Amino acid sequence: MNDVGRLLQSKREAMGLSLAYVAAVLKIREKYLNGIEKWDFSDLPPKVYVIGYLKTYANFVGLDGNEISKKFKDVYEDGLELSMPQVMCDNSTPNLSVVIIAVCVSMLIYNYWSNSESGKSSAENISNVMLSKFVGNKN
């Protein structure tokens, strides 16, 4: 299977491209492309990513990416690890401060809603209270 890595390398070199240039264009780390060319997958990410890198690299140098990735899958099918990410959740009840804040916000929203329903804004209510206190103090 190392033949695939050598084939990719020889195609790249025939195009006169450095590995650093190909890595920059494809936005794949140079050490990953180097590992693919040497057919050494010890420093590469999970095999699912390697399949994508193989397709992209092969297509870039003029080979059939699907065929190259199929060869890789046929050899390494048992080693493919497809796992769902684990959600970090402790399933605990909300903190008391969160509950208190939620209740306060709900009360403020209700107060605003009830004042706006009566047709008076809270600014009008405050000005009426202050005006009545001012007028009440003069008499």
When divided into structural domains, the chain yields a total of 2
d(CA 139, CA 137): 6
pTM: 0.54
Residue 110 located in a structural domain:
yes
Q: Say if residue 26 is in the same domain as residue 73.
A: yes
Domain boundary among 79, 105, 126: 79
The enclosing domain of 10 has a CATH number of: 1.10.260.40
Tell me the pLDDT band of 100, cut-offs 50, 70 and 90.
confident
The token pair that represents 108 in the structure block: 């403020």
Residue 60 located in a structural domain:
yes
The token pair that represents 28 in the structure block: 């794949």
Which of the two residues, 133 and 75, has the higher pLDDT score? 75
- Domain interval for residue 25: 2-79
Closest CA to 82 of 73, 90, 91: 73
